[in-house]
Amino acid sequence: MRRSLSHLLVAVLAALTLAPVLTAQCPTGQSCLTVHAQPGCDSANCCLAVCNLDPTCCINDWDSNCVLFANAACVGYCGAEASGNCFAAHANPACNNAACCTAVCNLDPFCCSSSWDVNCAIFAGFACPGNPGTCGVTADSCFEPHPQGACNDVECCNAVCTIDPACCEQSWDQICVYTAEEVCVFGCTPTFEKVVELEVEACDTRTNDPCYAAPSGTPEVAPINVQVSGTLGRPVASTNNPDVDVFRVEIPDTNGDGLARVTMSFVSSPAAWLVLLPDTPCAPVASNIVRLSSSLCVDTAAQPICIPAGFYRVVVATGTYPNISGGDIPCTFGNKYGFKVTVTQNCNACAASGPTCFAPHQSGGCNNAACCAGVCAADPFCCDANWDSDCVAMAVTNCIVAPPANDTCAGAIPITLGETVFNSGKAGVELSQPTECGATLARDVWFAFESDRTGSVEVQTCGSWFDTVLAVYTGSCKSPVQRGCNDDSVVCAGVGASRLSFAVQCGERYLIRVGPKTGQGGEAPIRILPGQSVECPQCQADLTGNGSVDAQDISTLLNGWGAASGDINGDGTTDAQDIAALLNAWGPCP
């Protein structure tokens, strides 16, 4: 209920005699910024400040007027308007958005105990998302922080949001202000790379424009893969024509396919444009292969294109394409630009001779043309730069239409000593999880190893690019018995690669299960190494080793009757079955 003026005066007078009562109500558990039925609020300082203005706030309920007083008087209280903008530095602690204030102070308690300094304002830009905005629509200045994204100067706003999209998508924070102060003022200087090739032509001279504004001289030679820095100045008093800079670049073909992938970038302080032209004398700018515009020191880049190897020309001029302006810019500042011609050789990124689509590699593209084209259409990075794990994930999802042939134990593929590549993409999980090494599989594929040796062999996925789990079983697929399991081996290079040894006997069959611990996985190597083992005899019934199964072997078998020394069939004892095996093998060993 709104109080009358007379009521308020009476209350103020009454406060002189009610000071102990007011103090007793401060603090309580209720927020100073919300209406509640009890007197007082949760901050002693804010509560006393408000009750000194309106003692009834500590006598009756804490109503909307008390909240208004709190917002106006409680400096240093999180959420109070008096505490100041969360996105701007100020001397007192706290800021005017309670949730933002709490989030920042959890990161740095100094912001609520001492002052809301520049660091606190920067933290607010990360911890307090704010609201998206549209350049030119908001009335807020580009040079003052505010919770609404974007600012009132369209050109400056677009320039800043090109550099840092969060400035339009979230809040225009202190970092956005710093960026605006760098790029939204005349005379800004582009940020150049550490290695820069400087234009030979001096400011306000005309030695490298054979065709366009002041025909004179020859194009300068510009390197590839190195940023070139130049100037476009022409002081007001100058009688020279506008400055246009022309460069000649050679695009190489190092892989012999006749093509090269070219990416161009451009940055300038004045409004300027750049075109890449064929190496034809005085080629019209309209015949450009690449065109870029820049201003306010904001970097721009063109989409990579594949062009024939050879010579080309780069033309740089002030103004708005295709017009060449006077460029009346002092030679001392505000006249600089930079461009870079980056060349790579992966134009045939989706060639059949390329690497697999289902494992990461440093080059772009992969060897399945249809799969490669689909992935690169969704993410050009996969062809323009390198085929990383995200590209593999898209390839597995989009290009594998059925589980692998060895998805189940029953479909286990025979494997021998050496390296085999498996692909876990779209595989399922068949058995209950391994227990011996405490690991689980997200999906699995199966191999069958029929041992040609006795002792122990090693199975491993060393070099795998994803986290793998290995398990080995004997017995049937219906009743497998686990003989070993490994998750991450400390002596195996790779991302969570696995490695284990298991005992083998001649002629026995072992089931090997492998797959990713998480995710889809993809292609990876699995190897069977001989370990501490010896090969099984090629002619097991030749007990004497003379190259033939004959009477001497019968004598040796009988001398070992009941023991293992004459065992031929591998059951661990010498018996009638071994005599049968010996007779079946009678004669010269194969």
Q: How many residues are recorded in the chain?
A: 590
Q: Which two tokens stand for residue 340?
A: 């870079």
Rounded to 10 deg, the angle between the 551-559 and 576-584 helix axes is: 170
**Tens of pLDDT along 67-89?**
999 999 999 999 999 999 998 88
Instruction: Read off the pLDDT band of 493 (50, 70, 90).
Output: confident
Alpha-carbon distance of 469 to 461, in angstroms, equals 9
Per-residue model confidence as pLDDT tens digits over 93-117: 999 999 999 999 999 999 999 999 9
For 52-80, what is the mean pLDDT?
94
Looking at per-residue pLDDT, the higher value among 373 and 590 belongs to: 373
Q: Judging by DSSP bridges, how do beta strands 244-251 and 220-221 pair with one another?
A: parallel
Asked whether the bond before 480 is cis by omega within 30 degrees of 0, the reply is no
Secondary element (H or E) of residue 179:
helix 174-183
| Distance (Å, whole) CA 69 – CA 1 | 15
Mean of the per-residue pLDDT values for the chain? Answer: 88
More confidently predicted of 495 and 298:
495
Q: What per-residue confidence (pLDDT) applies to 510?
A: 96
Reported CATH class of domain 409-535: mainly beta
Helix (H, G, I), strand (E, B) or coil at 271: coil
Question: Band of the pLDDT at 9, cuts 50, 70, 90?
Answer: very low
Residue 21 reports pLDDT greater than 70? no
**Percentage above 90 pLDDT, the chain:** 56
DSSP letter assigned to residue 281: T
* Most distant CA pair in the chain, distance: 131
For the chain, the helix, strand and coil percentages under 3-state DSSP, each to the nearest 5: 25, 25, 50
Would the pLDDT of 429 be above 80? yes
Q: Give the full edge-to-edge strand order of the sheet including 445-450.
A: 413-414, 445-450, 509-516, 468-475, 480-486
Res. 423: pLDDT tops 80: yes
Q: What's the pLDDT score for residue 387?
A: 93
**Residue 101 near residue 79 (C-beta atoms within 8 A):** yes
Q: What is the pLDDT of residue 494?
A: 81
3-state secondary structure of 555: helix
Predicted confidence at residue 11, as pLDDT, reads: 44
The answer to whether the beta carbons of residues 443 and 456 sit under 8 Å apart is no
- For position 520, what pLDDT does the model report? 92
Instruction: Write the single-letter amino acid at 393.
Output: A
Q: What is the mean pLDDT of residues 536-552?
A: 80
Local structure of 180: helix, strand or coil: helix
- At 125, list the tokens: 């830009």
Q: Give the residue-averaged pLDDT of 258-278.
A: 93
Residue keyed to tokens 């018995």: 481
Residue with tokens 């695009």: 251
CA-CA distance, 166 to 180, in Å (whole number)?
13
Which pLDDT does position 199 carry in this prediction? 95
292: pLDDT strictly greater than 80: yes
Tell me the two tokens of residue 192.
């150049």
pLDDT digits (tens, 9 = 90+) for 208-242: 999 999 888 999 999 999 999 999 988 878 888 88
Q: What average pLDDT does this structure show over 399-407?
A: 95
Cβ neighbour number for residue 64 with a 10 Å cutoff: 12
Over residues 532-550, mean pLDDT: 81
**pTM for the model:** 0.49
Encode pLDDT of 132-142 as tens digits. Answer: 999 999 889 99
CB-based contact 374:268 (threshold 8 Å): no
pLDDT above 80: residue 434: no
pLDDT score recorded for residue 28: 85
Q: What is the pLDDT of residues 461-488, one digit of tens each?
A: 999 999 999 999 999 999 999 999 999 8
Tens-digit pLDDT profile for residues 371-393: 999 998 899 889 878 899 999 99
Q: Please state the rounded mean pLDDT for residues 43-60.
A: 93
Phi, psi of 105 (to 5 degrees): -70, -20
pLDDT of 22 reads 64
* CATH 2.60.120.380-classified regions of the chain: 196-344, 409-535
How buried is residue 107: exposed, middle or buried, by Cβ count under 10 Å (0-12/13-18/19+)?
A: middle
What number of other Cβ atoms are within 10 A of residue 349's Cβ?
23
More confident residue, 51 or 549: 51
- Higher pLDDT residue, 454 or 384? 454
How many whole angstroms separate alpha carbon 319 and alpha carbon 241? 14
Tell me the CB-side half-sphere exposure of residue 532, using CA atoms within 13 A: 6
CATH for 196-344 is: 2.60.120.380
Euclidean distance between the first and final Cα of the chain, in Å? 109
Measured in degrees and rounded to the nearest 5, phi and psi for residue 587 equal 120, -175
- In the structure encoding, which two tokens stand for residue 5, read together? 């003026």
Long-range contacts of 283-286 (CB under 8 A, 24+ apart): 283/313, 285/212, 285/315, 285/321, 285/322, 286/322
**CA-CA distance, 161 to 274, in Å (whole number)?**
22
